[in-house]
A and B are shown apart, each in its own frame.
Chain A
């Protein structure tokens, strides 16, 4: 199993540009998540999904959109990039149930908005 795969690994955007961060998992997990991590800080939850067709906002959803058309894929869309969105983005997945959730993380996408 590849686990959680994120692409691209690095990206530089200009202010106002749009892009999609891709995330795929091959573990048949029902839950998927998008986090951002600013330097020296912990992770902040952007959006999560409990299954195909179901998404919900996390702590910091503004400026982002997500969709979950399949169990495997959970792309994150930035519509109008702003410097405040410069961060490292992590996608994760888990099988949720009975307090035994373990999150499996991708290797991250380093995004700079200039």
Chain B
């Protein structure tokens, strides 16, 4: 089961910042948070990931709360091409003798409106 909770859908005006929330209240200390997006049934695309500190790259910023129980992905200036399903994922280790895996939820459908 997914270890994250996201809103099913969100709207954002073109040119504004899109803020996508994610709850991961059961996250463990060594589990990373990843964000991917999927544009219209294409293969998912990596956006950003983090452990404790806030992160920024050319695509987005990731803000992680101090208790690590939630995070927010920020697209600073949303464009129509940012319309996609955004997945917040926690990297987990299902058992002692298994490798780390990414457990995917249903994601947030972000619609950017002109």
Report which A residues bind B (CB closer than 8 A). 4, 35, 40-45, 48, 50, 56, 58-59, 88, 90, 92, 99-108
The answer for the CA separation of A40 and B98 in the assembled complex, in Å, is 28
The answer for the CA separation of A104 and B36 in the assembled complex, in Å, is 10
Query: How far, in Å, is B50 (CB) from chain A's closest CB?
Result: 9
Q: Which one of A40, A41, A43, A56 has the highest number of Cβ atoms from chain B below 10 Å of its Cβ? A: A43
Residue in contact with A107 in the complex, picked from B43, B87, B99, B103, CB distance below 8 Å: B43
The answer for the CA separation of A110 and B41 in the assembled complex, in Å, is 10
By the criterion of a CB under 8 Å from any partner CB, how many residues of chain B are at the interface? 23
Q: B17 near A: Cβ within 8 Å?
A: no
Residues of A contacting B103 in the complex (Cβ-Cβ under 8 angstroms): 59
Residue in contact with A42 in the complex, picked from B49, B51, B107, CB distance below 8 Å: B107
CB-based closest 3 A-B pairs: A105-B43, A42-B104, A43-B104
The answer for the CA separation of A41 and B105 in the assembled complex, in Å, is 7
Contact assessment for A45 and B101 in the assembled complex, using a CB-CB cutoff below 8 Å: yes
Contact assessment for A103 and B98 in the assembled complex, using a CB-CB cutoff below 8 Å: no
Q: B44 near A: Cβ within 8 Å?
A: yes
Residues of A contacting B101 in the complex (Cβ-Cβ under 8 angstroms): 45, 48, 58-59
Residue in contact with A90 in the complex, picked from B44, B87, B102, CB distance below 8 Å: B44
Contact with A along B65-102 (1 / 0, CB 8 A): 00000000000000000000001000100000011111
Contact assessment for A41 and B106 in the assembled complex, using a CB-CB cutoff below 8 Å: yes
Besides A45-B101, A108-B42, 14 new A-B residue pairs in contact (Cβ under 8 A), listed by A number: A42-B104, A45-B102, A50-B99, A58-B101, A59-B103, A90-B43, A99-B32, A100-B49, A102-B46, A103-B44, A103-B102, A104-B46, A107-B42, A108-B43
Residue of A nearest to B1 (CB): A59
Residue of A nearest to B42 (CB): A107
